[in-house]
Amino acid sequence: MATKKLTKSEKKIERAIKAKKKAIEEMEKSTPKKPTGIKVKDGADFYAHKHIINYLTETDLYKFTQQQFYLLKRSEDEAKWEFKCRTKGVNLAPLCKRINEELDWLCTLQFQQFELDWFKKQNYFTKKYVEFLEDFKLKRRHIKCYTDAKNTTLFIEAEGSQKYVSPWEIYVLHIVQALWMNGEELDWDKAKTNLDKEIEKINAATRAGIKFTISDFSVRRTISSDWEDYMVGRMLAMCPAFVGTSNVYLAIKHNCTAIGTFAHELDATYQGLSDVTIEMAQKQKLTDWSDLYDGKLGIALSDNYGFKAFLKDFGLKFAKLFDGCRHDSGDPIRWGEMLIAHYKKLGIDPTTKVACWSDSLDIDKALAIAKHFNGRIRIAFGIGTYLGATVCGTKREPLSMVMKVVEVNGKPAVKLSDSTGKTMCHDEDHINYVKMKYNYKSIDEMTVEEILEMLPDFKDVKLSDIYHPAKAA
């Protein structure tokens, strides 16, 4: 069989990959090899400290972009957060003592000069916010971790000014995951081999002309900090499609782009405001965000009230102003088809906009999505658990868990989303009220006729039509 002749761009990619591979091989020859079967010990292998988190930048970028937003736009809002483990049949109560020790430690940390210098260089952070960070410390009175009387259920709650309690979320999830995986056997040779196989899949797709980017979203779910550090470094060196990480500390360390804008907590915050009605909460949030960041950080999370309701609020002004949207629930192919149809309806060329998928992705699923949408919209992926833990091949699976806002200024808050099981709110009346105000219906529950009535250019395709995991494995 004749060998396919490579194009100039394909040859360029091949040369870049070979050069990076050679550089990595030379580096690894001069670096002491980690023993196989090494146990994960709270990230201590990488950080040479006894604690899980040692820098306040070991968290997602959006914790800082949102904290600045609270400081400058919503400084007086109070919030209550609650931890929830979604993994069934797991008792985390025995971890309570160690979690509290880590929370105590976190309250001793302050931003180091190298971290503050990085914040100063970013064009979306203000001088006022950097000065706020110079004196910032987490306050222990804002968070508590305890168990029930039978020691069978773990509770973690944070409460106080949103600008002070919001940062706890990712630190808590990172700590719980690290303690859950503590003592798990991590075969580094196996993990590295598995990662390299996934990198080759990505590079093969890139060589085939499929255009997309991948970012690391795993700081809250990684098996350990040292693995995430290795994975990010390896991806940057060997995978041209890899563009950055949400982990600010690693973005600083590896001199790469920090990725993130805002999360569901911002929608939750706007449900508790006395000066904004529920039905206007989503629009007002988008307005205030764009006013503060003036076109920067322009990827809009799209599912808090369901994607159907989001598109109703995401009119021509926002569609032009924001760079694109992020998917986090519901069928990913249907979501993408609806987004493209929405841009077309507004007279916007979808190929100038970004569609970012970040919901429960592995590499095979991401590549199936990329192949389907190639050339129709700018494609981006944020991959968390799979790159940060699953790819390692450990026997113990990482936890599925969240920490969400449940109250703002004494009022209940809810995240509806487009997937059943992701709703988190104690007040059924509030859930029903919000659903009524937003005329809620999950995109998975909408009929094709209902979607076509909204979006005449919609194409009826679902993930199950183009992706079959058993075949992809």
pLDDT digits (tens, 9 = 90+) for 290-342: 999 999 999 999 999 999 999 999 999 999 999 999 999 999 999 999 999 99
CB atoms within 10 A of CB 183: 11
Does 13 score more than 70 pLDDT? no
- Annotated domain spans of the chain: 47-184+401-431, 192-260+289-304+313-396+442-472
Tens-digit pLDDT profile for residues 303-317: 999 999 999 999 999
CB atoms within 10 A of CB 244: 22
Specify the amino acid at residue 169.
E
CB atoms within 10 A of CB 390: 18
The percentage of residues in the chain with a pLDDT greater than 90, rounded to a whole number, is 84
Using alpha carbons only, give the angle 37, 40, 45 rounded to the nearest 5 degrees: 100
Q: Is 448 helix (H, G, I), strand (E, B) or coil?
A: helix
What's residue 21's pLDDT?
Answer: 60
Mean of the per-residue pLDDT values for the chain?
Answer: 91
Tens-digit pLDDT profile for residues 421-436: 778 888 999 999 999 9
Give the single-character DSSP code of 247: B
Q: Where is 253: in which H helix or E strand?
A: helix 248-254
Q: State the pLDDT confidence band at 5, using cuts at 50, 70 and 90.
A: low
DSSP per-residue codes, 105-137: HHTT----HHHHHHHHHSTTS-HHHHHHHHT--
Does 12 score more than 90 pLDDT? no
Mean pLDDT value of segment 247-253: 98
Selecting from 3.20.140.10, 2.40.50.140, 3.30.110.30, 3.90.550.10, what CATH number does the domain 47-184+401-431 have?
3.20.140.10
Residue 465, both tokens: 């039509």
**pTM recorded for the entire structure:** 0.90
What's residue 425's pLDDT?
Answer: 87
Classify 192-260+289-304+313-396+442-472 by CATH class: alpha beta
What's residue 6's pLDDT?
Answer: 64
Residue 93, both tokens: 């109560």
By the 10 Å C-beta count (0-12 exposed, 13-18 middle, 19+ buried), 237 is classed as middle
Q: State the pLDDT confidence band at 23, using cuts at 50, 70 and 90.
A: low
Question: In CATH terms, are 47-184+401-431 and 192-260+289-304+313-396+442-472 the same topology?
Answer: yes
Q: Is 469 helix (H, G, I), strand (E, B) or coil?
A: helix
Cα–Cα distance between 325 and 327 in angstroms, integer? 7
Cα–Cα distance between 280 and 434 in angstroms, integer? 11
Does 385 score more than 50 pLDDT? yes
Does 227 score more than 90 pLDDT? yes
What's residue 10's pLDDT?
Answer: 64
Q: State the pLDDT confidence band at 20, using cuts at 50, 70 and 90.
A: low
The percentage of residues in the chain with a pLDDT greater than 70, rounded to a whole number, is 89
Tens-digit pLDDT profile for residues 163-216: 999 999 999 999 999 999 988 888 999 999 999 999 999 999 999 999 999 999
Q: Are 236 and 250 in contact (CB under 8 A)?
A: no
CB atoms within 10 A of CB 66: 26
